[in-house]
């Protein structure tokens, strides 16, 4: 029987535990604060920041949102970044990607105070992660590691194929998996758009992590019997439904499910974990910067 990995349930448990951590911080007069910065009015980005703000409200994090005009100069955004770096109520923040073309996202990341870098994308935090000394793990790979531990999916000694080499998912995921630590110790293959014979690399894996943004690229014929399949992809595909679209992953769920030992659905798999781990990073940032140790899930 294939296990359907329930990201909604695990994320709910993590959020419940974080509410307790937030209560413990409140006993010391600390309310964690997360700011989101949106430059422009990209509808998908607006949806994402709205969800992040709603998540904050639900668990008792002080959510602060800053909207910046899509025509703003880089300097205007840098001023906001300086204000957030200096604001004692803001323990963590992020600038929603993508940013308009006049703005260099790498330069934006570089200016964020690494101690407030809720996404874990600042070069210092990337370096720490690679060195095996992460301060903030990027939310999606961290959430996937949590799913592995909750479902007793052993990574030690496992062959893991990661499909995608983005800075936010593929690269940090591969790095975490290869580390000599719990949730790591895997033998990792990283595939990308120039990879040849992709199916050969996914078929030999005990765990396949699909993060390429190509709808249903990975099907059952590319999975070995009993493998774990983690689908990170989220693409909006237009349909005749009331909403006008449905969310589709990078895995052909129906055929992959026939072969997989465990598989994440879309939606309800990795997505809610990513959201929960952003809250986790915010609580961690508040705890560390305020010098109030609390238990984290
Ligand atoms: P990206 O879009 O920045 O890059 C895609 C990566 O996939 C690249 O490294 C590219 O080399 C690789 N790729 C593209 N086509 C390929 C192919 N045919 N074969 C093999 N590799 C290929 O990546 P991203 O930002 O990591 O996003 C990937 C997907 O994950 C998107 O659908 C995105 O919406 C989704 N996503 C979901 C979550 C979540 O919480 N579930 C979080 C982040 C991203």
Angle at 145 between CA 53 and CA 255, to 5 degrees: 95
> Residues 120, 93: contact at Cβ < 8 Å?
no
CA of 164 to the centre of ligand 1 (A): 5
**213 CB under 6 A from ligand 1?**
yes
Stretch (H or E) spanning 92: strand 92-95
Mean predicted confidence (pLDDT) in 45-58:
97
Residue 243 pLDDT: 87
For the chain, list the domains and their CATH numbers.
18-128 (3.40.50.10860), 139-270 (3.40.50.720)
- Per-residue pLDDT tens over the stretch 259-278: 999 999 999 999 999 999 99
Mean pLDDT computed over 169-190: 98
116 — pLDDT class (breaks 50, 70, 90): very high
Choose among 146, 95, 98: nearest CA to 274: 146
Active site residue 52: yes
198-217 pLDDT, tens digit per residue, is 999 999 999 999 999 999 99
pTM listed for this prediction: 0.98
Beta bridge partners of 159: 187
Please tell me the distance between residue 127's alpha carbon and the centre of ligand 1 in angstroms. 22
pLDDT digits (tens, 9 = 90+) for 220-253: 999 999 999 999 999 999 999 998 999 999 999 9
Provide the phi-psi class of 80: left if phi over 0, else alpha when psi is between -120 and 50, else beta.
Answer: alpha
Nearest CA to ligand 1 atom 7: 212
Q: What is the pLDDT of residue 250?
A: 98
What's the pLDDT band for 188 if we cut at 50, 70, 90? very high
* pLDDT computed for residue 251 by the predictor: 98
Ligand 1 atom closest to 170 (CA): 26
Clarify whether 152 is annotated catalytic. Answer: no
Span 82-97, pLDDT tens digits: 999 999 999 999 999 9
Burial class (CB in 10 A: 0-12, 13-18, 19+), 157: exposed
Closest residue by CA, ligand 1 atom 39: 271
- Residue positions counted in the chain: 297
Distance between start and end Cα atoms, the chain: 29
Query: What is the reported pLDDT for 71?
Result: 98
Residue 14 has pLDDT above 90, yes or no: yes
The protein residue with its alpha carbon nearest to ligand 1, atom 2, reads 213
Mean pLDDT score, 15-41 = 98
- What local confidence, expressed as pLDDT, does residue 3 receive? 98
DSSP letter assigned to residue 44 = H
The mean pLDDT of 25-34, rounded to a whole number, is 98
Residue written as tokens 């499910």?
Answer: 257
Which numbered atom of ligand 1 lies nearest the CA of 269? 41
Q: In the chain, pLDDT over 90 holds for what percent of residues?
A: 98
Question: What residue ranges in 220-291 does DSSP mark as E strands?
Answer: 228-231, 235-238, 245-248, 262-263
Both tokens of residue 229? 């399949």
Residue nearest to atom 23 of ligand 1 (CA): 166
């Amino acid at each position: 029987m294939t296990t359907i990995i329930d990201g909604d349930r695990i994320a709910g448990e993590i959020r419940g535990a974080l509410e307790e951590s937030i209560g413990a911080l409140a006993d010391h007069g600390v309310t964690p604060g997360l700011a989101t910065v949106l430059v422009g009015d990209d509808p998908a980005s607006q949806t994402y920041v709205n969800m992040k703000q709603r998540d904050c409200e639900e668990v008792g994090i002080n959510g602060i949102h800053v909207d910046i005009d899509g025509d703003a100069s880089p300097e205007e955004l840098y001023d906001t970044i300086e204000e957030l770096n200096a604001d004692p109520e803001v323990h963590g923040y992020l600038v929603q990607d993508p940013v308009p073309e006049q703005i260099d996202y790498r330069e934006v990341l570089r200016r964020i105070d690494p101690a407030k870098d809720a996404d874990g994308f600042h070069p210092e935090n990337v370096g720490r992660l690679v060195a095996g000394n992460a301060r903030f793990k990027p939310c999606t790979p961290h959430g996937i590691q949590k799913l592995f531990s909750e479902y007793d999916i052993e990574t030690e000694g496992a062959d893991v194929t990661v499909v995608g080499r983005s800075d936010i998912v593929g690269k940090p995921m591969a790095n975490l998996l290869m580390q000599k630590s719990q949730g790591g110790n895997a033998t990792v293959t990283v595939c990308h758009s120039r990879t040849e014979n992709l199916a050969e690399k996914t078929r030999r894996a005990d765990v396949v992590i699909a993060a390429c943004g190509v709808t249903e690229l990975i099907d059952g014929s590319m999975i070995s019997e009993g493998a774990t399949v983690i689908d990170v992809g989220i693409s909006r595909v237009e349909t005749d439904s009331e909403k006008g679209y449905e969310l589709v992953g990078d895995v052909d769920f129906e055929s992959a499910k026939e072969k997989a030992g465990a598989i994440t659905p879309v939606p309800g798999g990795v997505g809610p974990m990513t959201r929960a781990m952003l809250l986790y990073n915010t609580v961690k940032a508040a705890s560390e910067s305020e010098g109030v140790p609390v238990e984290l899930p």
